[in-house]
Amino acid sequence: MNNPQNVTYFEARKWASFRIKDAGDVDMYDVDFLLEQLFDLSAADLLIHYQARMPNERWQVFQDAIHQLLKGIPPQYIAGKADFYGLSLKVTPAVLIPRVETEELVDWILNDNPDANLKVLDIGTGSGAIAIALKHFRPHWQIVASDISSAAIEVARQNATANQTRIQFALSDVFEDIHDSFDIIVSNPPYIAKDEQPYMDRRVIAHEPDLALYAENQGLAIYKQIAAGTSSHLTSSGRLYLEIGFHQEAAVTTIFKAAMPTAHVIAKHDASGHQRMIQVKK
């Protein structure tokens, strides 16, 4: 673990490439992510610093980070940071690591609602990713972010402060402690069935919070909870936006048509063509 000669950033990266070459679920993207996030470097900064000597303290931190990576810990948890919609968010094992696919849900909401002054509820906010992104780009919106996990709420509060976004937080199991009506309700709820684990990344199974991943009834339980309360919490012209699993479009559509027979349900696929989002208009 010593660095008597002070390796360069290029040499450190090369060392990491040899360490991970037999690790099937780790790649150089993870290595570069750690170099950039741990030492506050952009991709351009990393290139510029390639031949610069890495301070010994950084070399120690980097070696430890690679050892954690090889143990299966997601790089975002190692760095304590994740990128989402151009923002930097703190992440801990108490919250789900935000996914790029969820950015498309934020796109949909922002594109549908360019100027209006709206009241928004984000159910199951986790790190606060969706709520903070919406508030950042629509600062005049009133946003309430809820979660069943007090640990997640604390992380989301810190992220809201760090990103200078004023958001109200509520500890609530879906609508249990929510009493207002909203123009937009959005949620990326737990939607994975336990029997889907064989198809999942082992790092997700081992390290991301079960509470944010899995739902009963083949992953549909939280959608049923949301459907049961949407009518009484959505304004007359309001819209509900949901992220869904890659095979859940028909099932989730059926749930909302049964709970809200006069509602209009629109499905949307992501950039890869996968079932990903549902919109419900009252």
Question: Which pLDDT value is given to residue 5?
Answer: 64
CATH number of 92-281: 3.40.50.150
pLDDT along the chain (282 residues), means of 10: 72 96 88 96 93 95 97 96 97 96 97 91 98 97 98 98 98 97 97 86 88 93 97 96 96 97 95 95 92
Q: Is 190 a known ligand-binding residue?
A: yes
Q: Is 214 a known ligand-binding residue?
A: no
Give the residue extent of every domain in the chain.
9-79, 92-281
Q: Is 188 a known ligand-binding residue?
A: yes
Cα distance from N-terminal residue to C-terminal residue, the chain:
61
Question: Which pLDDT value is given to residue 105?
Answer: 98
The pTM assigned to this predicted structure is 0.93
Q: Cβ(274)–Cβ(246) under 8 Å?
A: yes
Q: Is 128 a known ligand-binding residue?
A: yes
Q: Is 125 a known ligand-binding residue?
A: yes
State how far the alpha carbon of 249 is from the alpha carbons of 48, 197, 204, 215, 220, in Å: 46, 20, 23, 16, 11
Question: Which pLDDT value is given to residue 97?
Answer: 97
Q: Is 147 a known ligand-binding residue?
A: yes
Question: Which pLDDT value is given to residue 4?
Answer: 53
- Closest by CA position to 244, among listed 228, 265, 260: 265
Q: Is 50 a known ligand-binding residue?
A: no
Q: Is 149 a known ligand-binding residue?
A: no
Chain centre distance of CA 33? 17
User: How, if at all, do strands 275-281 and 234-243 pair?
Assistant: antiparallel
